[in-house]
Amino acid sequence: MRLLVSLGLLSLSAAPTLAAYNLVESFSGSTFFNGWDFFDGFDNTTNGDVNFLSQANATASHLTFVDDAGHAIIRVDNTTFVPFNEKRNSVKIMTHDYFSVGSVFVMDAVHIPFGCSVWPSFWTKGPNWPAGGEIDIMELVNLAQDNQMTLHTTPGCTQPQGVMQLGKTSGTDCSAGTNSSEGCTVIETQSNNAGAAFASAGGGVWAAQFDVSGIFVWFWSRSSVPADVSNTSTSVDPSTWGTPSASWPSATCNITNFFTPQQLVIDITLCGDFAGQPTIYAQTCGGPVGNSSTCYLENVINNGTSQYADAYFEINYVKAYSLGDALDPTVSGTSVILSSISPTATSTSSANGSGTSSGSTKNGAARSLGRQSRSLLVSVVLAAMVFALCMA
């Protein structure tokens, strides 16, 4: 009986990974933008003061490119004069593929966007957003010094009390706010996780485990990145990573009930529902608290050279790892990376919104070994539980 109690406590405090996750998708170097769809036009999900550009226009405007160091650059337009009542150009990209429960997502960056009005994110969403859940892995606004990590779900998913994590919880109801807009948030407490400090430290890495045991997010500054997290790694083992920055164990949020397969998203918007809120904007950028137009008037219009000099991602790589071993092609060419522990997640439709597909290249990682190892360890644990009950 004591064994069962211990296992229950484990689910509240840690990320109980039973096997390594193997590489299924990698975006880096000259082919980084292969496998992403570019959102084209105005996006009312954030109501930001930007026009997102198609791949052709983003490339022509030099808002997306791979630099001489092999790093992917995604940036806000900082050269154009924007007249009053118009919006500034920016970029939003989404993976063509979706990834089911039983996945790990990693982003290694040397620079992330910051500045007054700037709202960058690395996040995931279901195919029928806002249904199907959302995981915000890296999200900042304005000149905030700390990243925030958030889940957005339908009612019923919460973060339990006393969870083991490095970050600070600022909300436990993942459906909080209109249409779950607030969610359940954890604020990063480690140093050098945002802004100029992040870049000065050589950047860092975020990793998110999307598992039946829960959702867990880690951040490491450049000097503390684990050995198995690198551009050459073909497998990762979250059980060796220590305490996560944010932890939402499944004890109070059944992951398969609240989350469908997830699509990776990277974007930079301006002002909008978060960065443009007068009280939020005033916290780091000043200005009258009650004036909802301050963010737009002080930054977006006119010449953006100084305001948006730091409004860019510089990314080493983005990777997805999985316990699964199959790709399921569906309509519109969209695929779901299947996990052996999520048999109901078999297909999905393409994302809402228009975009330009640039194809997808899969890595030939051997994923069946991870599944077999996981199954073996599960059998061992179950046998131990049965033995303990018999001896009780």
Q: Which two tokens stand for residue 161?
A: 């009390």
Instruction: Identify the band that residue 325 occupies on the pLDDT scale cut at 50, 70 and 90.
Output: low
User: Mean pLDDT lowest for which of 27-41, 247-261, 313-327, 367-381?
Assistant: 367-381
| Domain annotation covers residue 386 | no
How far is 312 from 13, CA to CA, in rounded Å? 35
* Domain of residue 278, residue span: 21-367
Q: What is the pLDDT of residue 337?
A: 59
How many structural domains are present in the chain?
1
Catalytic residue among 139, 188, 298, 314: 139
pLDDT over threshold 80, residue 298: yes
- The packing angle between helices 2-13 and 368-391, to 10°, is 140
Position 302 scores a pLDDT of: 95
Is the pLDDT at 205 greater than 80? The verdict is yes
Q: What is the CATH number of the domain that holds 171?
A: 2.60.120.200
Mean pLDDT, rounded, for 6-19: 45
Residue 383's pLDDT is 47
Give the span between the Cα atoms of 202 and 192, in whole angstroms: 9
pLDDT value for 86 = 97
pLDDT tens digits, residue range 349-364?
Answer: 333 333 333 333 333 3
Residue 383 lies in a domain: no
Asked if residue 378 belongs to a domain, the reply is no
**Residue 16 lies inside a defined structural domain of this protein:** no
- Calculate mean pLDDT across residues 365-376: 36
For the cut 80, the answer to whether the pLDDT of residue 372 exceeds it is no
Residue 2 lies in a domain: no
pLDDT-derived band at 289, boundaries 50, 70, 90: confident
Task: Return d(Cα 112, Cα 200) in angstroms, integer.
Answer: 11
296 compared with 367, residue with greater pLDDT: 296
Instruction: Tell me what the pLDDT averaged over the chain comes to.
Output: 83
pLDDT at position 287 is 78
**209/1: higher pLDDT:** 209
**Residue 25 appears among annotated catalytic residues:** no
Write the pLDDT tens digit of every residue in 40-53: 999 888 999 999 99
The pLDDT value recorded for residue 335 is 62
Question: Would residue 12 count as lying in a domain?
Answer: no
Return the amino acid letter for 372: Q
Q: Which of 25, 134, 298, 314 is catalytic?
A: 134
The pLDDT value recorded for residue 334 is 55
182 is a catalytic site residue: no
Domain-embedded: residue 317: yes
pLDDT of residue 364: 34
Residue 9 has pLDDT above 70, yes or no: no
Q: Is residue 256 part of a domain?
A: yes
- Which residue did the predictor score with more confidence, 324 or 217? 217
pLDDT at residue number 332:
40
Share of the chain above pLDDT 70, in %: 77
Displacement of CA 327 from its chain's centroid (Å): 21
CA distances (Å), origin 388, targets 3, 7, 384: 7, 12, 6
